[in-house]
Chain A
């Protein structure tokens, strides 16, 4: 025992643990610190987990297009615990994206970004950008069809940048096409470059948190003034408590919960499904981003073509510029939500927007429904009502791929209008014109359909009516 104490003293004298580190660990925090203050630690825990699982995964991953997919298969199905590690890395990534946003929301709602903590916020905004960059590059390393085409979409987005678009694209995909040099580049960015930047930024972020101290819980009627705040905070700390252990135990509990939750999710749901291997000769692909980018996928599909470049490039810039400006434009004043009634709206509106866009993105009504093509028949309810002549029209409708974009009785694509009751709206002449000439997103079929096909198709469509409705074009009764 004496020996142990002696050894500890020897180490401590040299490390300066008691004299330098302990005062930092036990720095006073305001007594008003509560459970809301754990979101930053939770995010940090998710990041640590990403580093640990990522380093482990890297021992088996081969960052070359010829082998990347096979090595992922090996990790998933053969490597000891590989399945659960991949799952943890995936859910850890989701957790990081979610927790960073929750942490930012909490800091924004409590006005903690105000003087003197503006740089804490700004370094946090950079960390958000780096987290999203990790999420994007990570998805590409899966190197399945989704990954490959997401890379192409990313490259084409970069190509839209004015003037330097071409240069950016070449740098991003490391050449003229997505291929051998692309994956190694993304690998280096994902496992070396961005993590190094994140380590540095977290270091700065934590240093600033200690330098300026944890903000006190906001109180209405106590606005931040640059002249007096530091002194007020000093007063507050006089009744404060040491960070460790009085406040830190809450962080520890939540950090443990984060780890347990991620392991549980990985164990229950497993890693994300590996699609077909990244093979540019397979054009039957259905590329979709991971869930946290689905809202942006919807933005890309829905933005009006005339302002599309502005949306693709300007929108992310605007979001980050806006976030960066928050502490610079409002460094002082009230922190309490009672005096900032607009703050919840600033958070809620983007959240609603992202949720709505995500729902649309998952539905993707603008995408043709390839599953409705080929042999799959119309719903029985529609089929049985048809006489032989109209059966022929239904066959044309199916064979010519109309159902990729048009639904009947809810079955089919949703790019064009539902035709379940089109007979109510359009006369045979109108139907013929619309099909032959197209317009408003509808392709012209004049050169595709024979006159006989057109005839039976129009007859079939004309007969699609809601119950008890006269066909379109019937003169109104006097």
Chain B
């Protein structure tokens, strides 16, 4: 690092000192230079020893390996065929002090029979929560004008893709969604 530069300068400074001609460079490693190097190197090591835990702690979220888990959306019978309605699920990875943010909304569309689609509420443009307008059969985003059809495909506005969905399954008469965090473009 910076050590290389100081070394170079020190060499020139010492150029005036008497030195046997043709002596190897290592020969001029004086006691002072050695101690300087040890001090700089040691300081660097200590800085590294400090930086590893601090930076590692701050980068912690990157190593979060909470697996995707199935979250409950409610009894299958609470969703009527041919309707889309809001349901809630509990985020499995939430912290005890997460409060309201531990729960999140999901738009659940039930086709015929047990054909379910669970949409992430976030607009695929920049994440605002879309609203379902049953009379118009549209999802409307309140932020930048995104509009989606009932099946989640884009009907207008800036969204780059259709609404994100969760994988769903039915267990013991209850609808479940596979949750692993905010899905983004």
Interface class of chain B by DSSP: loop
Q: Give the number of residues in A that approach B within 8 Å (Cβ atoms).
A: 65
Interface class of chain A by DSSP: loop
Question: In the docked arrangement, what's the CA distance between A438 and B147, Å?
Answer: 12
Q: Is A160 an interface residue (CB 8 A)?
A: yes
Question: In the docked arrangement, what's the CA distance between A285 and B86, Å?
Answer: 14
Q: Is A267 an interface residue (CB 8 A)?
A: no
Question: In the docked arrangement, what's the CA distance between A169 and B122, Å?
Answer: 15
Closest-CB distance, A151 to chain B (whole angstroms): 9
Q: Do B157 and A181 touch (CB < 8 A)?
A: no
From known contacts A171-B59, A280-B104, A404-B133, infer whether A368 and B145 are also in contact, taking CB-CB under 8 Å: yes
From known contacts A153-B127, A404-B136, infer whether A160 and B100 are also in contact, taking CB-CB under 8 Å: no
Contacts of A447 in B (CB 8 A): 137
From known contacts A279-B100, A281-B88, infer whether A176 and B126 are also in contact, taking CB-CB under 8 Å: no
Q: Do B100 and A277 touch (CB < 8 A)?
A: yes
Question: In the docked arrangement, what's the CA distance between A171 and B78, Å?
Answer: 38
From known contacts A301-B143, A404-B140, A443-B155, infer whether A157 and B98 are also in contact, taking CB-CB under 8 Å: no
Contacts of B22 in A (CB 8 A): none
A155, A178, A285, A400: the one contacting B142 at CB < 8 Å is: A285
Q: Is A284 an interface residue (CB 8 A)?
A: yes
B99-133, CB < 8 A from A: 99-105, 121-122, 125-131, 133
Q: Is A455 an interface residue (CB 8 A)?
A: no
In the complex, identify which listed stretch (B24-32, B41-49, B61-69) lies at the interface while the others stay far away: B61-69
A156, A297, A400: the one contacting B185 at CB < 8 Å is: A156
From known contacts A152-B127, A177-B91, A285-B129, infer whether A278 and B101 are also in contact, taking CB-CB under 8 Å: yes
Q: Which residue of A lies closest to B155 (CB)?
A: A443
Q: Do B97 and A156 touch (CB < 8 A)?
A: no
A425-445, CB < 8 A from B: 438, 441-445
Q: Which residues of B contact A (CB under 8 A)?
A: 58-62, 64, 66, 86, 88, 91, 93-105, 121-122, 125-131, 133, 135-138, 140, 142-145, 147, 149, 155-158, 160, 180-182, 184-185
Instruction: List 24 interface pairs A-B (beta carbons < 8 Å), by A numbering.
Output: A65-B99, A149-B143, A152-B126, A153-B143, A156-B184, A157-B126, A160-B185, A166-B184, A169-B182, A171-B59, A175-B64, A181-B61, A182-B101, A281-B105, A283-B129, A283-B130, A286-B142, A301-B144, A368-B147, A401-B135, A402-B136, A442-B156, A443-B138, A444-B149
